[in-house]
Amino acid sequence: MLTELKQKVLALFSNAATQTYLSLLVFALLMVGEACAQEKSSNQWEYDFLVYLWGTTLQGTTVTGDDITVNFDTIIKNLDFAAMGTFSARKNKFSMVSDVIYLNLGDTIKTDGEVLGRPVSSELDMGLSSWVINFGAGYNLIDDGKTSST
Q: How many domains does the chain have?
A: 1
pTM more than 0.75: no
Distances (CA, A) of 37 to 1, 34, 41, 123, 125: 58, 9, 12, 50, 44
**144 lies in some domain:** no
- pLDDT tens per residue across span 11-25: 444 444 444 544 555
**14 lies in some domain:** yes
**65 lies in some domain:** yes
pLDDT at site 140? 87
**145 lies in some domain:** no
**80 lies in some domain:** yes
**108 lies in some domain:** yes
Domain that holds residue 59: 2-35+42-139
**135 lies in some domain:** yes
